[in-house]
Structure 1
Amino acid sequence: MKIRTGFGYDVHRLGEGYKLWLGGIEVPHIKGSIGHSDGDTLIHAICDALLGAANLRDIGFHFPDNDPSLKGIDSKILLKKTVDIIAQKGYTIGNIDSTICLQRPKIKDLIPQMQQVLASVMGIDIDDIAIKATTTEKLGFVGTEDGVAAYASVLIVKNIG
């Protein structure tokens, strides 16, 4: 058995007139993520972690932000494609540990729904997806509510022989 780990990070500016998508669900808020896709920071961090663990570069390589066919795309589609990409190399997901950094709104009550959506998209058990949320105590771009950031650590497994 071959075990590999990966780490992902993503950040998006927040602005009025955009929807805030995190973990595959729309989060009610006056500001949303500004991005080429739907701007789901958590999903993008998970995609980067999975691709990195399989030594397959990053989300921008596979889904470039200058590709007009990806404009406004639902990030759940990118996540499903990412899972398929690592599966072509023989990998399955062991577990995911992630953190969303967002000053407002508070999202702790939405985490179970995010876990359910992500588990469904990736075809894994909900117990294999940890999502945590934190603020930055009003420091930096997250603290001033100008942006959102997410971190993800993953473990992938390949059965050999």
Structure 2
Amino acid sequence: MKIKVGFGFDVHQLKDNHPFVIGGVNLEHHKGAFGHSDADVLLHAICDALLGAANLRDIGFHFKNTDPQWKGISSVILLKESVKLLSEKGWEIGNIDAMLCLEAPKINPHIPEMQKNIAEAIDISIDDISIKATTNEQMGFIGREEGVVAYAVCLIQKG
């Protein structure tokens, strides 16, 4: 059996009175992530981890932020498309471990729904999806609520 590990990172600006989608969940907050798609920082980091592990480049290569096809699209669709690319190469997902870094809102109450959304999108067990969150202790652009960051690692396998 062959296994590979991937790492993903994503960051998005936060803007007042903008939708805030993380892990396919719409969060109530006075600010939201801004980007070409729905700016779901968590799913973007997971896509990059998966694509990188399979040596399939990154999310920007496959879903360009200049392509109107992807404008405002749900990142759940981008995740499904990324998994399809892996499947075409014979890869299966073992697990995902992700970390969000933002000051607010609190993420912990939303983690089960995020895990459910991801598990359904990529057809793996919720038990194979770990999501954690931390603040930046009010330091830097994250601490000033100017941006949100996500990191993800994954294990993929074949044969």
Counterpart in 1 of 2:29? Answer: 29
Q: Which residue of 1 aligns with 2:65?
A: 65
Q: SS state of the match for residue 103, structure 2? A: coil
Deviations 1:74-110 (A, max 9, x none): 0000000000000100001000000000101111111
One-letter amino acid of the structure 2 residue matched with residue 144 of structure 1: R
Q: Identity of aligned pairs, percent? A: 58
Show the counterpart of 1:55: 55
Aligned to 2:93: 93
Supply the AA of the counterpart residue of 2:113. Answer: Q
Partners of 1:66 and 1:4 in 2: CA distance: 30
RMSD: 0.5
Equivalence for 2:2: 2
Segments of 5+ residues of structure 2 without an aligned counterpart are: none
1:39 is matched with: 39
Aligned residues: 159
Moved over 6 A (4+): none
1:7-56, Cα deviation, whole Å (9 max, x unpaired): 00000000013100001111110101100000000000000000000000
TM-score, normalised relative to structure 2: 0.99
Question: Whole-Å Cα distance in 2 between the matches of residues 123 and 27 of structure 1?
Answer: 24
Residue 135 in structure 1 maps to residue 143 in structure 2: no
Shift of 1:59: 0.1
